[in-house]
Amino acid sequence: MAKTILITGASSGLGAEMARQLSDKGYDVGLAARRTERLEELASEITAKHPERKVAYRALDVTDHEAVFRVFGELRDELGRLDRVVVNAGLGKGAKLGTGRFDANLETAMTNFVGALAQTEAAMEIFRAQEAGHLVMVSSMSAMRGMPSSMTTYAATKAGVAHLAEGLRTELHGTRLQKRIKVTVLYPGYIRSEMNDKVEQSTPLMSSTEKGVRAMVAAIEKEVADACVPPLPWAAMAPVMKHAPLGVLKKLI
């Protein structure tokens, strides 16, 4: 029986590419995002390439918390079960604190953290009922350290979701569910997507969507506890970002 995976934020960027690569590996996929026309296009693309694959999709705004629980349940029922859930939906907007754009920072915080909390709750309800599952939390390399300017709130939300997942892993450790429910935190570096399309494309640290997601998919399939992706250069940069003096950090970012 094919493994099943639900991916939120699947209408574009990393989410859509994960769906493509995982369906290539034999997964049945559940897709959730706000833009249903893009989900329909992606579902058609996958089924045209893999007619044997099950592809289910639903419109979902992760800030509609009741909808999160409903949609996760509907996709589980349509696919038969959920082996993996990738909490990927998020926003990249933000502004310097104290510059009158609380609205932008609030929207990012509600989507990236509270929305991720709702998704985690919904996924874990399903996994606890199944007594099996794999939660994948998409964080960011920006979670390694507090970030300045427009990145401040975004980075804080990504640190928050990483701790949410890590706390869950700590809870499960030493229990009978430890080997049956896995938790992975992914820390992507610069991977080309709609969210970062304003970042200078010539930066040597920017990975293509395909290459970056290939590293994410490899980490997911290995069920690692955490992974900086792609490993080069981000695994090496993680301790530098965590511990470098602020002057050095600001030059790096």
Q: Which residues are catalytic?
A: 154
Report how far residue 130's alpha carbon sits from residue 180's, in angstroms, rounded to the nearest whole number: 9
SS3 label, residue 31: strand
SS3 label, residue 8: strand
Report how far residue 170's alpha carbon sits from residue 121's, in angstroms, rounded to the nearest whole number: 16
Dihedral of the alpha carbons of 221, 162, 235, 84, in degrees to the nearest 10: 10
Non-local CB neighbours of 68 within 8 Å, separated by 6+ positions: 60, 62, 115, 118, 119, 121, 122
Structure tokens that stand for 206 in this block: 């920017």
Closest-CA residue to 68 (of 123, 18, 12, 15): 123
The HSE-up count of residue 182 (CA atoms within 13 Å, CB side) is 18
Closest-CA residue to 79 (of 21, 136, 137, 130): 130
Tokens 């932008």 appear where? Answer: 104
